[in-house]
Amino acid sequence: MDTLEIAVTAVQQHNAQTSREAEVVKETDRLLRLNLFPYERVWVDVRFDLAMTEHSSSKINAMLVSGEVHGIAEIRYQSLFLWHDFKTFFDEVIAHELAHVIVDVRNAEKGLPSSKNHDEEWAEVVMEINPDCDALAKVRGEFDDRPIKIHKGGIGCECECGDEDAFVVFPNTPSSLMKLRNEDLTCPACKSAYVKVDREQWPREITEAVDFYRCLMESKIYHLPLSR
Ligand SMILES: [Zn+2]
Ligand SMILES: [Zn+2]
């Protein structure tokens, strides 16, 4: 599956391969233009990155040339979440991340470092982009990061809640293994201690979600960073 051809102006490079990813690239492009982003001087690279656990992240590499900002803005989106809750992703995650990018470029114009804070200035930009969304440090959507955590070697565990949410994934670290053994990791809802579950006993929804994630991983095209 190749990277899709999309008619965009502000976004210079992307690795969109599905129509959902293409919609996100188009919306990112539209919002950047609407907010008068200096795309002639700051190249925008949008990537769908399946390895990240957050919903999105960004990095600005900029410098001032005769008082104007020049550089590269790299925006990353976790595309697995586009399959879990596309609406929240489209409405809120894009606004969340673009607000960081816009604030960072403003900072660079003033010679200030990138902030990445979820402060008042950032929240104002989020509300300008989408007045209907809550400016939160982490967007609340129906995003399930368990397949990603399992892929990274996490330990599948269960409490006594008995539903699909009873299955949680802890990082495979000495400290969480110790806590599991001592029954120190307890479910906030049913108060029972989490117990490790063998792969064969995992709920079917989880195994299917992991398989789906691995399929996406195998078909994803990555590309080298932009350089100019
Ligand atoms: Zn953020
Ligand atoms: Zn529970």
Condensed to tens digits (0 to 9), the pLDDT of residues 134-164 reads: 899 999 999 999 999 999 999 999 999 988 7
Stated pTM of the model? 0.91
Confidence at residue 89, expressed as pLDDT on a 0 to 100 scale = 97
Distance (Å) from CA 2 to ligand 2 centroid: 43
Distance (Å) from CA 161 to ligand 2 centroid: 4
Question: What percentage of residues in the chain have a pLDDT greater than 70?
Answer: 97
Distance (Å) from CA 101 to ligand 1 centroid: 10
Q: What is the rounded CA–CA span in Å between residue 179 and residue 173? A: 10
Which bound ligand lies closest to the C-alpha atom of 104? 1
Residues 104 and 114: beta-carbon distance below 8 Å: yes
Confidence at residue 138, expressed as pLDDT on a 0 to 100 scale = 94
Which bound ligand lies closest to the C-alpha atom of 193? 2
Which bound ligand lies closest to the C-alpha atom of 165? 2
- Mean pLDDT check: name the lowest of 96-105, 159-168, 194-203: 159-168
Distance (Å) from CA 100 to ligand 1 centroid: 7
Judged against a pLDDT cut of 80, whether residue 227 lies above it is answered with: no
Structural domains in the chain, sorted by start: 11-142 (3.30.2010.10), 146-216 (no CATH)
